[in-house]
Amino acid sequence: MDNPNELYPPEQAGPHLGNTPCATLQWWSTKGRGPRYTKIGRKVFYRRTDLDAFIAAGEHIPEREIA
């Protein structure tokens, strides 16, 4: 995954998301969740920038304990 705008099918996008199964990506898309995707005809593709943005959106900064 070198080109950030290159299109990847779910089989290649899943490993980038921690080995997420294709069925999970499909379920997310039906529920309006998951990474942004592009459809060409009937086929679904993901850009690396969209996969990275989805990962970044899930980041949480732990709160520090107050002494």
| pLDDT (tens digit per residue) in 11-34 | 999 999 999 999 999 999 999 999
| CA 18, 23, 27, 32 torsion-angle sign | positive
Is it the case that residue 48 has pLDDT exceeding 80? yes
Structure tokens at 6: 């290159």
What proportion of the chain, given as a percentage, has pLDDT over 70? Answer: 93
CA distance to 13, 51, 66, 67, per residue, from 55 (Å):
12, 6, 28, 31
Higher pLDDT, 63 or 17: 17
Q: Please give the order of strands across the beta sheet that includes 43-47.
A: 7-8, 43-47, 38-40
